[in-house]
C-alpha cells in the first residue's frame, strides 16, 4: 500500500493532538497544573501543525476527491461535512480555551475545556475515518489545487 505522505503526516498530527489532550485531562485531574499547561500547549501546537500542512497542501497540491463507489459518495460527503464542522468548532474552542487558560480566566477555562476536548476527540476520530476512506479503503479520486482551479478558470 502506497499512502500519500502529506495526508498521512497531517492525520498523524491530529491523532497526536488528541492523545496530548487526553494526557492533559489526566494531568489536571492529578492537579499537575504546570504539566497540564505544557501538554495542552503541545496539543495546540500539534493541531496547528496539522492545520498548516493541510492548508498548504490544499492551496498548492489540492484536496483529494472521494474515489469510492458512487452509492457511498453521498454518505461520505455528509460525514465529511460533519467532520469539517466539528474541526472548525473544536479548533475555535480549543484556541479560545488556550487563551482563557493563559490569561488565568479559569472560570471560563474550566467550563469550556471539557466541551472543547470532547469535540476535539470526535474531530480526531472522524478525521482518521476520512483519511481511511480516502486513502486506505478506497483509492483517492482526482486531486485539484485551489491555485490550479483559480488560474485554470481565469485563463
CB contact at 8 A, 42 and 26: no
CB contact at 8 A, 23 and 39: yes
Q: Name the DSSP class of 97.
A: H
Proportion of the chain above pLDDT 90, given as a percent: 77
**Res. 140: pLDDT tops 70:** yes
**Res. 118: pLDDT tops 60:** yes
pTM comes to 0.87
Please, what is the average pLDDT of the chain? 91
Cα torsion through 3, 41, 88, 106, rounded to 10 = 160
Query: pLDDT tens digits, residue range 12-69?
Result: 999 999 999 999 999 999 999 999 999 999 999 999 999 999 999 888 888 888 889 9
Distance CA 24, CA 88 (A): 21
Amino acid at each position: 500500500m502506497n499512502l500519500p505522505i502529506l495526508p498521512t503526516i497531517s492525520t498523524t498530527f491530529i491523532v497526536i493532538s488528541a492523545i496530548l489532550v487526553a494526557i492533559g485531562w489526566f494531568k489536571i485531574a492529578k492537579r499537575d497544573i504546570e504539566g497540564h499547561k505544557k501538554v495542552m500547549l503541545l496539543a495546540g501546537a500539534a493541531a496547528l501543525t496539522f492545520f498548516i500542512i493541510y492548508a498548504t497542501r490544499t492551496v498548492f497540491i489540492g484536496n483529494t476527491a472521494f474515489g469510492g463507489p458512487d452509492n457511498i459518495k453521498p454518505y461520505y460527503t455528509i460525514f465529511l461535512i460533519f467532520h469539517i464542522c466539528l474541526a472548525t468548532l473544536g479548533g475555535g474552542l480549543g484556541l479560545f480555551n488556550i487563551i482563557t487558560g493563559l490569561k488565568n480566566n479559569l472560570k471560563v477555562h474550566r467550563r469550556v475545556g471539557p466541551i472543547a476536548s470532547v469535540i476535539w476527540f470526535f474531530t480526531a476520530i472522524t478525521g482518521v475515518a476520512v483519511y481511511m476512506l480516502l486513502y486506505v479503503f478506497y483509492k483517492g479520486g482526482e486531486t485539484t489545487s485551489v491555485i490550479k482551479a483559480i488560474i485554470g478558470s481565469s485563463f
